[in-house]
């Protein structure tokens, strides 16, 4: 496979510290609750509640809950968005949700502009978003490049360097 030269490249990660705190506290709480119940019921043979789960069901549930916690932590810690502008187009990869780069159509754009936006009010938060304002790829921050397509729909690419991103897009568009 042949790769074209990259004119612009940006790698972004979520920088919402409060998100890490919430996830960490949730994982500690669920592991603590299930750990306590598991030790009380399985190790010390003291039934918890009026209708306790069987030891096998409790063990399986604890493994599943802690496994889901681990997957959520991994998703948050591993996620990053790579934006590339190449001579053949604008490409996004939002790992681990996109394993390959996806081409963002700019050929028939009515406008491409740097914008400041409110991630929560405009798109319901950060991340991969689909809403009334169109599609958004915004891992962090409140600035980016908005592409208005010929059908009136918008695509927002969050960026910490939106002016450089716009310059690179304009360079390949003309």
Considering the domain boundaries, does residue 1 fall inside one?
A: no
Number of domains in the chain: 1
Q: How confident is the model at residue 1 (pLDDT cuts 50, 70, 90)?
A: very low
Least confident of 7-11, 16-20, 67-71: 16-20
Percentage of residues of the chain with pLDDT beyond 90: 54
Residue 137, domain extent: 106-173
Residue 134, domain member (yes or no): yes
In a domain, 135, yes or no: yes
Look up the CATH number of the domain holding residue 157: 2.40.50
Residue 44 resides in a domain: no
Helix, strand and coil in the chain, % to nearest 5? 40, 30, 30
Please report how the helices 55-78 and 17-38 are oriented relative to each other, as an axis angle in degrees rounded to 10: 170
Model pTM? 0.78
Tokens of 118: 């409110």
Residue 155 domain flag:
yes
Residue 26 domain-assigned? Answer: no
Q: Is 67 exposed, middle or buried (0-12, 13-18, 19+ CB in 10 A)?
A: exposed
């Amino acid at each position: 496979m042949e790769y074209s030269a990259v004119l612009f490249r940006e790698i972004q990660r979520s920088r919402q510290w409060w998100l890490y705190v919430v996830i960490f506290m949730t994982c500690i709480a669920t592991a603590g609750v299930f750990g306590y119940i598991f030790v009380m019921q399985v190790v010390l043979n003291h039934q918890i509640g009026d209708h306790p789960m069987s030891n096998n069901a409790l063990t399986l549930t604890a493994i599943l809950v802690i496994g889901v916690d681990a997957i959520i932590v991994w998703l948050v810690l591993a996620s990053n968005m790579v934006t590339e502008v190449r001579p053949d187009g604008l490409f996004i990869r939002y790992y681990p949700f996109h394993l390959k780069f996806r081409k963002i159509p700019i050929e028939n754009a009515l406008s491409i502009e740097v914008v400041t936006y409110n991630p929560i009010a405009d798109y319901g938060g950060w991340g991969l978003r689909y809403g009334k304002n169109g599609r958004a790829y915004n891992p962090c921050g409140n600035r980016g490049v908005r592409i208005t397509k010929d059908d009136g729909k918008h695509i927002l690419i969050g960026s910490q360097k939106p002016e450089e991103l716009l310059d690179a897009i304009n360079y390949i568009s003309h």
